Structure 1
Amino acid sequence: MDDTNEKNLSLALICLCAAELVMMVNTTAFNVALPNIAESLGAGMAEQQWIVSSYNLVFAAVVLLAGFLGDRLGHLKTMLAGLGMFVVASAIGLMAGNVPALLVSRSIMGAGAGVVIPMGQALLGILFHGSELSRAMTAWAIAGTLGVPFGPLVGGALTATLGWRGIFGFDGVVFLAVIMVIHMNVPPMGGPHQSRSPHVPWASVAMMFAGFTLFSAGLVNAQHGALAADAWIPMAIGAVLITGFVLHDRASRNPLMALDLMRDPSFAACAPALMMLNFSMYGIIFIMPAYLETVLRHGALIGGMLLMPLVVASIVGSRMNDWVVSRIGSRGTSLLALGCLAVGMLTIGAAMWWPGDAAKQSTALIGQAMAGFGLGAGQPAMLTWAMGRVPVEQSGAGSSLLTVFRQFGSIIGVGIFGSIQSGLYAAAFRDLAQSAGQHPQSSGSVTLDFQQAAGLTSATGDLIRQVASRAYESAMTGSFATATVIIAVTLGIVALISRTTPR
């Protein structure tokens, strides 16, 4: 490889990593603004879940279509179109005056992310090979891993200085710059089948989108009871539609999803492992801001800073990835990462049992660090392990399939954490209030309950805030304990699937 080609590849890698970093910062920067949005627009817990889930839902629905089109129309062209969606969505969000307008903006952003992230991974798989692919994927994973936990800090700073609309203004400016830089530096390469007809299998797209939407709606409604008709019926219909989509796509002559890749044990093991990374990440970042900003009353900026252990540990885990993989292999590193996530979740949940705030916060920080190390070490190992098994002509499809699993993890992360947290919080609030001789009705959101308490007399308001704080902490224990069990079960499944694969 000559010096000029190596320089061009380095510039391309930097640009793609920059796009991934900004994308993932945006993904989670919004979470830290949820308490402010709840106060500004009167959004309850269910509406907050939809503000976050709409992004992840459309992301998951679009990502397979993006891989399908990218392999036929060109990965760079498709990626730039996705970045353009972010600019449009930012303008809508900047002017949003109600929750529905905010949902439209977040949905368009989700569509953009569903295009950009798999196309970036696909371009890396085409531009780099062998050991260079491993280094490129590690750099890409570091950018993404940094962006996700770093997002709350950026979002906190913007919310504290400009209000929650400042995040949309930041997005619009940054994504315009990213489009120009990528257009100038990344070569328009793609797979060898770009001349194939881009005829879209709309039946598959519709079934998948409807299935994910109904399943997500059921998860959100489950906060009022998992056995409620408006919870289990949408989830059941959604599961049927998703199953129908898989069966229909497998039999199609023009499939949307490259399911044949799942025959490879390494690829098949990475799919649920990556799903758990996003499940954990989004669960933590959905639950923790309200605890840090509302219960502990730190504000958006400090609340974002208190998520920094997740950031620092993610950096450490990413930097140590090559060293860990060289000793225990990609499979061992992936299993280690899932183990760290499970321990981290358990530690955060157990922290709420401590009697003092200082002990709770310090133990929760340790849990964040454990989970962050798992995220940082696991993502590059899993992506390299999986994408190394994908043929070049299926780069877009393989990347998109992995991204679907990751985004489904995001959807169930927000859905399961949000529903369990909301249900347990409402029950604990009622019991604690009755024990204190009060009978207030919880709004289902700790932020709105604190807002309600501000309009009451001093003594009553203080009591409501104490009850709400204790109820939220109690609910956190249940939420993170449930997450620990889910991750531990997945770890066993991944170990079983991959037991015959090389290290």
Structure 2
Amino acid sequence: MMDDTRGKNPNLNRSLICLCAAELVMMINTTAFNVALPNIAESFGAGMAEQQWVVSSYNLVFAAVVLLAGFLGDRLGHLKTMIVGLGMFVVASAIGLMAGNVPMLLVSRSIMGAGAGVVIPMGQALLGILFRGSELSHAMTAWAIAGTLGVPFGPLVGGTLTATLGWRGIFGFDGVVFLAVIVLIRMNVPPASASRRSRSLQVPWMSVAMMFAGFTLFSAGLVNAQHGVLAASAWIPMAVGAVLIAGFVLHDRVSRNPLMELRLMKDPSFAACAPALMMLNFSMYGIIFIMPAYLETVLRHGALVGGMLLMPLVIASIVGARMNDWIVSRIGSRGTSLLALGCLAAGMLTIGAAMWWPSGMMEQSTVMIGQLMAGLGLGAGQPAMLTWAMGRVPIEQSGAGSSLLTVFRQFGSIIGVGIFGSIQSGLYMAEFRNLVQPGGLHLQSAGSVTLDFQQAAGFAGPAGDMIRQTASRAYESAMIGSFAAAATIIVITLGIVALISRKTSR
């Protein structure tokens, strides 16, 4: 089938460019939205918990849909399924453009999450079918670089659109861009198939339901943990969610019609890449969830300048992606993956440590250095990890392998927003109370630094300035704990990855 496809379509480079364009604009969409969160929170009066749900709804639906997308794509056709996923972004953009409240925004982002859950595995599956050997390695690297570059460019695009058109401009931009991508893919990507063998279309709905319910409850517990990890509203949903996820894995393992190929986890290289990729998304989503409020509200730069101040992450990601082949040729995919995790942990610690400096040039310079470290890890890590893992997957299981890795990445996104958001919110409100009491102000935090700045607008003179200063100091102090906790989690994962893969080749 592969030879026939190549003979009919000698210009596969155009197919690669179009598929990479889809990945690029999708990742720009994902991260551009986070820059607009402070503006959205101000428009709708949304607290930290509501902001977490708006972000997490995307990741939750993504995680629930990705395995189902792989299941259907293998049976209905990968290209056709991918076009449907891109169409979801267009529909969701129209809903977001008209959104008048947080629930409508949740619907829009959920549909976008479903679209992303279809596009990513289908794109990687098409690459696995259209390319072979060294060409496959080149195509997977290009795909990974496109996604890596889309992640940090999102804040810049989002900041520009929010500053010029308002946050609704992001949804208008999405609608136009995704329509263009659909047209380009229909014109240039052949409808390739991995196999013509007839396969059952019976969907394992029990597995789908258990997985979605498990991820939803676990994420709900993480969001509620900002009010206390030991609170019943936090640990009970997390515990029930964990049980449902474990039940899904056990059920799918013995099912005659499984939703995912767990046998791939028997390979140590593949098994090591799964948590490593999870940490990439954990770090990226955590940084981009926490940093906009710091740059736009605490430092009072606005959306456009705030997006530009994330450019060190952009530049470092580009450099890391371009250096990937050079690094892998010297220390191998395993060594590059471990190095990337080390860079991420160091970047997290540096950003957190920057908050110890008095506000000013030293603080912002140290934050920039932390972004450079983390960006290098993101840029070099993703293509190395994907190539390392997918190189161990049989061609006939490329769709299943891609979907399984994507589930781990999305779980990283979920816990990234959940853990960062909960730790940051909990520490922020506690520090806000500690700082307010000695000043004689009888105030309580409104739940986020953005809303507390709004609250300060209601006080004239020194009182308003005092609230803003208190909120800024509390947010910076909370960042120290948030980034230190994230670095600890990444270091532990680095040790696990090293242990699992210790007997593998470079």
TM-score tier by shorter-chain length is over 0.9
* 1:321 corresponds to which of 302, 321, 324: 324
1:296 Cα deviation from its structure 2 partner? 0.2
The answer for the alignment partner of 2:122 in structure 1 is: 119
The answer for the alignment partner of 1:294 in structure 2 is: 297
| More divergent stretch after superposition (492-501 vs 129-138) | 129-138
Which amino acid in the other structure matches residue 500 of structure 1? K
1:439 Cα deviation from its structure 2 partner? 2.2
The answer for the alignment partner of 2:280 in structure 1 is: 277
Say yes or no: does 1:425 pair with 2:428: yes
The answer for the alignment partner of 2:78 in structure 1 is: 75
The answer for the alignment partner of 1:330 in structure 2 is: 333
Supply the distance in 2 between the matched residues of 1:388 and 1:455 (Cα, whole angstroms): 59
Which amino acid in the other structure matches residue 226 of structure 1? V
**1:191–1:395 Cα contact (<8 Å) kept:** no
The answer for the alignment partner of 2:93 in structure 1 is: 90
Residues 111-166 of structure 1: CA deviation (Å, up to 9, x unaligned): 00000011111111111222222211111111111111110110111111111111
The answer for the alignment partner of 1:382 in structure 2 is: 385
Supply the distance in 2 between the matched residues of 1:393 and 1:73 (Cα, whole angstroms): 15
The answer for the alignment partner of 1:485 in structure 2 is: 488
Supply the distance in 1 between the matched residues of 2:325 and 2:130 (Cα, whole angstroms): 20
Q: TM-score with structure 2 length normalisation?
A: 0.98
1:5 Cα deviation from its structure 2 partner? 7.0
1:356 Cα deviation from its structure 2 partner? 3.0
What's the secondary structure of 1:30's corresponding residue? helix
**2:6–2:130 Cα contact (<8 Å) kept:** no
What's the secondary structure of 2:36's corresponding residue? helix
Supply the distance in 1 between the matched residues of 2:308 and 2:13 (Cα, whole angstroms): 32
The answer for the alignment partner of 1:370 in structure 2 is: 373
1:198 Cα deviation from its structure 2 partner? 1.6
Residues 372-391 of structure 1: CA deviation (Å, up to 9, x unaligned): 00000000000011111111
**1:347–1:363 Cα contact (<8 Å) kept:** yes
Say yes or no: does 1:496 pair with 2:488: no
Do the aligned partners of residues 255 and 33 (structure 1) sit closer, same or farther apart at CA in structure 2, a change above 3 Å counting?
A: same
**1:337–1:374 Cα contact (<8 Å) kept:** yes
Supply the distance in 1 between the matched residues of 2:493 and 2:450 (Cα, whole angstroms): 33
**1:421–1:479 Cα contact (<8 Å) kept:** yes
What's the secondary structure of 2:11's corresponding residue? helix
Supply the distance in 1 between the matched residues of 2:105 and 2:189 (Cα, whole angstroms): 32
Supply the distance in 1 between the matched residues of 2:180 and 2:197 (Cα, whole angstroms): 27
Matches of residues 210-221 of structure 1 in structure 2 within 5 Å?
Answer: 210-221=213-224
Supply the distance in 2 between the matched residues of 1:387 and 1:441 (Cα, whole angstroms): 51
Say yes or no: does 1:238 pair with 2:252: no
Which amino acid in the other structure matches residue 431 of structure 2? A
The answer for the alignment partner of 1:411 in structure 2 is: 414
Q: TM-score with structure 1 length normalisation?
A: 0.98
**RMSD of aligned C-alpha atoms?**
1.3
What's the secondary structure of 1:320's corresponding residue? helix
Which amino acid in the other structure matches residue 166 of structure 2? G
The answer for the alignment partner of 1:141 in structure 2 is: 144
Total equivalences in the alignment: 503
Do the aligned partners of residues 4 and 392 (structure 1) sit closer, same or farther apart at CA in structure 2, a change above 3 Å counting?
A: closer
* 2:342 corresponds to which of 339, 342, 358: 339
Say yes or no: does 1:259 pair with 2:262: yes
**1:71–1:395 Cα contact (<8 Å) kept:** no
Runs of 4+ in 1 over 3 A off after TM superposition: 1-7
1:455 Cα deviation from its structure 2 partner? 1.3
**2:9–2:190 Cα contact (<8 Å) kept:** no
**1:75–1:396 Cα contact (<8 Å) kept:** no
Do the aligned partners of residues 346 and 193 (structure 1) sit closer, same or farther apart at CA in structure 2, a change above 3 Å counting?
A: farther
The answer for the alignment partner of 1:128 in structure 2 is: 131
The answer for the alignment partner of 2:399 in structure 1 is: 396
Say yes or no: does 1:38 pair with 2:41: yes
Do the aligned partners of residues 264 and 59 (structure 1) sit closer, same or farther apart at CA in structure 2, a change above 3 Å counting?
A: same
The answer for the alignment partner of 2:201 in structure 1 is: 198
Say yes or no: does 1:179 pair with 2:182: yes
Supply the distance in 2 between the matched residues of 1:96 and 1:442 (Cα, whole angstroms): 27
* 2:103 corresponds to which of 86, 100, 103: 100
Which amino acid in the other structure matches residue 54 of structure 2? I
The answer for the alignment partner of 1:8 in structure 2 is: 11
The answer for the alignment partner of 1:109 in structure 2 is: 112
**1:73–1:195 Cα contact (<8 Å) kept:** no
Supply the distance in 1 between the matched residues of 2:71 and 2:419 (Cα, whole angstroms): 30
What's the secondary structure of 1:297's corresponding residue? coil
Which amino acid in the other structure matches residue 488 of structure 2? V
Which amino acid in the other structure matches residue 270 of structure 1? C
Say yes or no: does 1:61 pair with 2:92: no
**1:150–1:311 Cα contact (<8 Å) kept:** yes
Residues 279-314 of structure 1: CA deviation (Å, up to 9, x unaligned): 000000000000000000000000000001101000
Supply the distance in 1 between the matched residues of 2:169 and 2:198 (Cα, whole angstroms): 42
* 1:28 corresponds to which of 6, 27, 31: 31
Say yes or no: does 1:360 pair with 2:371: no
1:492 Cα deviation from its structure 2 partner? 0.3
Supply the distance in 2 between the matched residues of 1:493 and 1:151 (Cα, whole angstroms): 31
**2:61–2:117 Cα contact (<8 Å) kept:** yes
Supply the distance in 2 between the matched residues of 1:191 and 1:3 (Cα, whole angstroms): 13
Which amino acid in the other structure matches residue 389 of structure 2? A
Supply the distance in 2 between the matched residues of 1:275 and 1:82 (Cα, whole angstroms): 23
Supply the distance in 2 between the matched residues of 1:478 and 1:451 (Cα, whole angstroms): 25
Identity, in percent, stands at 84
Supply the distance in 1 between the matched residues of 2:461 and 2:172 (Cα, whole angstroms): 38
1:193 Cα deviation from its structure 2 partner? 5.2
Which amino acid in the other structure matches residue 370 of structure 1? M
1:437 Cα deviation from its structure 2 partner? 2.2
Supply the distance in 2 between the matched residues of 1:193 and 1:400 (Cα, whole angstroms): 20
**1:157–1:300 Cα contact (<8 Å) kept:** yes
